[in-house]
Amino acid sequence: MGYEFSDDFRGKVVIVTGGARGIGREIALAFASYGAKVAICDLNEEALKESAQDIEKSGGESLFVIANVVDDKDVQSVIDKVVDKWGRVDILVNNAGITRDNLLLRMKEEDWDAVLAVNLKGIFLMTRSVAKVMVKQRSGKIINIASVVGVMGNVGQANYSASKGGVIAFTKTVAKELASRGINVNAVAPGFIKTKMTEVLSEEVKKRLMDNIPLRRLGEPRDVANACLFLASSLADYITGQTILVDGGMV
Ligand code: NAI
């Protein structure tokens, strides 16, 4: 057997949450460019439609579902629609995430709850639903998008870093539970990536960040997508429960 993996994704069924824009959109396009069938779900209907069209343009089949990952009924409808259309789910990328930054002493309870709900409960609900399908198939790859701040902490992000640290711990546990069923579960922890989420940072903050990145640049969504392709490919069949940091050497 050679080391070629680009054919691994032809005809494979992929779900990407939060796939309407940013990193999720790039991940969806990356799988589609290798011939995968890609379903994206998101709250943002307009961007969702546009991204689904771009997936088709890049040569893949697409499906978009308006869904809130915090709502179990929505989550189930995503899985049902994908299975109705394509009969299976090979790869799930749990990417949907939000920030509501503030210093601990000023952090509102609703901002804590919102971030923990989308970033952590959303991953639990999606993973639980998809796992039922993957267990029957006896195969599957699940990739959770965490963050370096879940490893190192960050001022102003008590809610976000707690949620992302939770994602890393969840990944380790679910990997152990599902390994005997042929399902690999890993996480990717991006550093600072150029998207709408980080666009709001001031030039001063960006400069300070850059000083702490040995590779001396912010990451691109593509850098994160590349790690997802690797983890979802046969090259990573013997890797489970791990977190790959895609952070330019920051941590
Ligand atoms: P983004 O804000 O550009 O995109 C996130 C997408 O998720 C949006 O399309 C949004 O509508 C969707 N979404 C939010 N809440 C949702 C919900 N309840 N249900 C369904 N969809 C929902 O963010 P970005 O930068 O692309 O981030 C993607 C992931 O990467 C997130 O999990 C984020 O925490 C993580 N990340 C991003 C970093 C960065 O520097 N941009 C660094 C580390 C992690």
Distance (Å, whole) CA 171 – CA 176: 9
Contact, 40 vs 19, CB < 8 A? yes
Q: What is the mean pLDDT of the chain?
A: 96
230-244 CB burial, b ≥16 within 10 A, e <16: bbbbeebeeebbbbb
79 closest CA partner among 171, 213, 71? 71
Give bridge partners of residue 184 from the DSSP assignment: 141
Indicate if ligand 1 lies below 6 Å from the C-beta of 150: no
Question: Looking at residue 110, what is its pLDDT?
Answer: 98
Indicate if ligand 1 lies below 6 Å from the C-beta of 24: yes
- 34 an active-site residue? no
pLDDT higher than 70, residue 1: no
Report, as an integer, the average pLDDT of 225-247.
98
Alpha carbon of 7 to ligand 1 centroid (Å) = 28
Q: Which domains are delineated in the chain? A: 13-192+221-246 (3.40.50.720)
Indicate if ligand 1 lies below 6 Å from the C-beta of 161: no
With vertex at residue 108, the alpha carbon angle to CA 95 and CA 206, rounded to the nearest 5 degrees, is 55
185-205 CB burial, b ≥16 within 10 A, e <16: bbbbbbbbbbbeebeeeeeee
Question: Looking at residue 237, what is its pLDDT?
Answer: 97
Indicate if ligand 1 lies below 6 Å from the C-beta of 66: no
More confident residue, 58 or 21: 21
**pTM tops 0.85, yes or no:** yes
Alpha carbon of 66 to ligand 1 centroid (Å) = 15
Distance (Å, whole) CA 76 – CA 81: 9
Report, as an integer, the average pLDDT of 207-235.
95
- Write the residue with the smallest CA distance to atom 44 of ligand 1: 147
Digit-coded pLDDT (tens) for 92-107:
999 999 999 999 999 9
Report, as an integer, the average pLDDT of 184-189.
99
Indicate if ligand 1 lies below 6 Å from the C-beta of 114: no
Cα four-point dihedral sign 32, 91, 116, 207: negative
59 falls in which pLDDT band (50, 70, 90)? confident
Alpha carbon of 118 to ligand 1 centroid (Å) = 10
Give bridge partners of residue 37 from the DSSP assignment: 13, 61
Taking each helix axis from N to C end, the angle separating 158-178 and 109-116, rounded to the nearest 10 degrees, works out to 30
Cα four-point dihedral sign 14, 19, 22, 23: negative
Alpha carbon of 149 to ligand 1 centroid (Å) = 14
139 falls in which pLDDT band (50, 70, 90)? very high
